[in-house]
Amino acid sequence: MINHSLIGPWIRRFLMEYLISVKNLSYNTQRSYRDTLCLLLPFIASQTRKNIDQLLIEDVSREHVLLFLLDLEKTRHSSITTRNQRLGAIHSLAQFIGLYSPEHIQWSGQIMAIPFKRAPHALIPYLEKMEMDALLGAAECTSPQKQRDHALLLFLYNTGVRADEAAQVTIADLNLAHVPGRNYSSVVIRGKGNKLRSCPLWSQTVKEIRLLIEGRDVKEHVFLNRCKQPITRFGIYTLVERYALKASERVPSLKLKRVSPHTIRHTTATHLLRSGVDINTIRAWLGHVSINTTNIYAETDLEMKARALAFCDIESKPVKRWHDNVNLVQFLRTL
């Protein structure tokens, strides 16, 4: 007979059923929740001096969770953002148990009441046009491998996709125009939560992708690694960092920035905003659920702020002091 007070069976149901069948969370989110529990359970076991398989739901108390979050920051040197992500996973577990186990509603409420910690809003890193051009130029198409690399970098800049989204794109997701310049080309992107969105492609992007997919099956992934296997998001991160280092030799300002696929994503949004694209279109372009997420680009773009400042600038006029008025001074002296 299953002991419903043990947390182990609940965690198995949470990871294997709830997150997949009920919440339909992405694979990366499922792994993130799993990793959180892999850190939490050994910590709780050490605090209660129990074996992990013997832990009760009540052992994951509010006090122990708070100690765990503190340990993340002090011992593992996790950022506040990471700390809040871990807490979000714990909240979700508590919500699940409280939903299916009425006798643990009070416990669930206590865990859910643990607040997120406010984190300072960091400036969004992005590349200036000259820096982005240098990054693309670093992957000169001198070999089939560099041809793939340049096409991938251009695809990231064109679409603003996340690394994982780029890695998942298949040839079947492409809708390439039969008459370039007259028909629009696009690609279907699978975003977070398996949400689909369509993104337009530049003619240059289409031209380079055509060379990559020529003669291949539509079920294959567009971007492959050296072993002709689908490239991973980690492979994309490594590729971007490699060419950023190379490009920094031509543009030294890149040495001061941490360039990643997500930096290119921010760059796409910022450059679209500068070009006059409205914020709601950019939201759909990037696959943001909330417009508030996209608004951060309007807050961080210094070039647009400078243009607004110049537009609102008031022309300074010389201030005429009273003693510069000779007639007035003469009048006062006659009194």
184 CB-near residues (< 8 Å, 6+ apart): 177, 200
| Residues belonging to the chain | 335
Q: Tell me how far apart the alpha carbons of residues 202 and 197 are, in angstroms, rounded to a whole number.
A: 17
- The whole-angstrom separation of Cα 266 and Cα 235 is 19
What the chain holds in terms of domains, given with CATH numbers, is 7-112 (1.10.150), 129-310 (1.10.443.10)
Task: Encode the chain (335 residues) as per-residue pLDDT tens digits.
Answer: 456 799 999 999 999 999 988 888 878 889 999 999 999 999 999 999 999 999 999 999 999 999 999 999 999 999 999 999 999 999 999 999 999 999 999 999 999 999 999 877 766 788 999 999 999 999 887 788 889 999 999 999 999 999 999 999 999 999 998 776 667 899 999 987 778 999 999 999 999 999 999 999 999 999 999 999 999 999 999 999 999 999 999 999 999 999 999 999 999 988 988 888 888 888 888 888 777 777 767 665 555 555 544 545 445 556 556 555 666 667 666 76
Q: Which two tokens stand for residue 323?
A: 């003693």
**Among 242, 248, 262, which residue's Cα sits nearest to residue 134?**
248
Q: Is the pTM of this model over 0.85?
A: no
Query: What span, in angstroms and rounded, lies between the C-alpha atoms of 114 and 92?
Result: 12
φ, ψ dihedrals at 116, nearest 5° = -75, 150
Asked if 112 and 94 count as a contact pair (C-beta separation under 8 A), the reply is: yes
Helix or strand holding residue 197 (H, E)? strand 196-201
